[in-house]
Structures are given as C-alpha cells and as structure tokens.
Structure 1
Amino acid sequence: MVNLSADELADLHAEDAVYEFPLLTPGRPERYRNQAEIRQGFGAAWAAAPVRVEEIRSVVVHETTDPEVIVAEQQAFATITGTSRSFTLPFLLVMRVRDGRIVHVRDYADALRGAFELGRLAVVVDSLTASR
C-alpha cells in the first residue's frame, strides 16, 4: 500500500475475490467483485488521491478460530501532496485467505477522517443527501 501499486495489491487476490467497504466510503462502490475490479478500482482511486502513503504503522494481526480468517488493525501515515500536512488514517481489515490468495476482504477505514483531512467533508454530505 505504501507504493500504491494496484497491480501488486490485485495480484494478492484470487480471480474471484470480493473486496468490500461496509462503511460509507464516498466515491467508492460498496464492493469490488473480482481481481480485475480490485485492480481497476484501486488504481483509479489511488491515481486520483492527493496523498502519498508514507508508512503503515501500528500493525496488529489477530488470529481467529477460523484458520482462513485474519483480522488486521493498522494505521496509514500519509502526506497530502504539495503540502507538508500529514495525517494518520486508522483502518481494520478482515480477510479470508485460501490457497495463498486473498478471497474476501472487508475494509473498515475511517473515511470521515480521510474526508476531513482532505477537505472533502462536503462530498460525504452530498453522498448522504443523494442516497436519500
């Protein structure tokens, strides 16, 4: 994620992987339904994002009773492009891995904090208003 390579991220996933965003994430669909959508979706989102992820910090991996399921807490430390402003975005991933490939992800990111840091809270409000 630090180098924001959608190709590298997608290659970790199975062809029929599902990547979900259960929480409100303006500008993103609720889910990507396969490896190609993951590649295209993250590629477009990261290309449009005015941030550079400098580091992933505070990674904590929780084992579960299901050997295929991993829960990971982490924080992305990012800098807003063209400024010296930086911020930390916490998120939690629930992943199912089978045969060495990620087959399902639920990505719980703090999208409100991200929108605030980028000055895009109005986009969140517009998204909520439009969905009524």
Structure 2
Amino acid sequence: MTDSPLLDVLARYQRAMLRLDADALAELYAPDGVHEFPFRFPGFPARLEGREEIRAGYKAAWSGTPARPTGIEETGVHLSTDPEVLVAEQTVRGEIAGGRGEFAIPGLLVLRVRDGLIVHARDYMDGLAVTGGLREQ
C-alpha cells in the first residue's frame, strides 16, 4: 500500500490504543471531532463529541478495565475513493490482568481525516467480546 497521511494517523491511533494512552488518542482528533460506536454495549455511550469528551471517555474506560491489549492484527486496510476516508479491519488481542485469560476483539474502524486530524470515527467493535466474551478466548 502506498504511503498516505491516513496510514500515519491509523498507526498513531493503534499505538495510543496499545498503550491505553487517552491523551495521545485524543490529540489525534480535531477539537470538534466525533467518535461513534454504532454497535452499542454497556459502559460506552453511542457517541463522544469533541476532543475533550473523547479524552475523558477513554480515560474513564481504560482506567477501569483489567484488559491490557498486546497487539492489533490488521486483516485489511482500505483507502477509499474519498481521500479523507480509511477503513481498517482489525482484531485487538490482549490479556486480562491477574492471569484471567486472553481476549480477541474484532472490529471495523472507519476514520475520516482532514488536515491530519480525525474529524469522525465510526468504531464497530464486537460488543460481546468486550463485555462478556473476553474470558472465553
């Protein structure tokens, strides 16, 4: 795949996720950026609006989870005919603290990036894997 500013944003996004770094993740967003979760699951709102709400939402979610990601497998990364849009098919893998098992959360991430910042993200995660299926991997 050719070099693309979108791929750079995706790589930085994935690094922030692996480090559970809500500040680094939030800084990838435009001040009025939006992050949506079309597949609802307990503990997450359907939408986070603005960089600071994204920061606060991820800080809260990540501070309260025993899940620690160890890697992100990309099964496909697709640049759209729209030069601002990238679609990533990926599985986040990791461990549950205290030796309670491993997890794999498949998902689809759609990013709209303008001027190097995410203006809109749609994050299609497997909610069952997030809420209850983590211990079954």
TM-score norm. by structure 1 comes to: 0.86
Determine if the alignment matches structure 1 residue 85 to structure 2 residue 101.
yes
Deviations 1:8-63 (A, max 9, x none): 00000100000000111211111001000000000100010111001111352101
Determine if the alignment matches structure 1 residue 7 to structure 2 residue 23.
yes
Letter in 1 for 2:78: H
Cα offset for 1:78? 1.2
Question: What runs of 5+ residues in structure 1 fail to find an aligned partner?
Answer: 120-132
Letter in 2 for 1:69: V
Question: What runs of 5+ residues in structure 2 fail to find an aligned partner?
Answer: 1-16
Name which one, 1 or 2, has greater alpha-carbon Rg. 1
2:67 counterpart (35, 44, 51)? 51
Deviations 1:42-91 (A, max 9, x none): 01000101110011113521011100011011111110111151021101
Name the counterpart of 2:54: 38
For 2:133 and 2:85, locate their aligned partners in 1 and report how far apart those are by CA, in whole Å: 32
Percent identical among aligned pairs is: 50
SS in 1 for 2:132: helix
Pairs within 5 Å for 1:1-132: 1-118=17-134
Letter in 1 for 2:43: G
For 1:70 and 1:35, locate their aligned partners in 2 and report how far apart those are by CA, in whole Å: 20
Cα offset for 1:113? 1.7
For 1:80 and 1:28, locate their aligned partners in 2 and report how far apart those are by CA, in whole Å: 19
For 1:43 and 1:75, locate their aligned partners in 2 and report how far apart those are by CA, in whole Å: 21
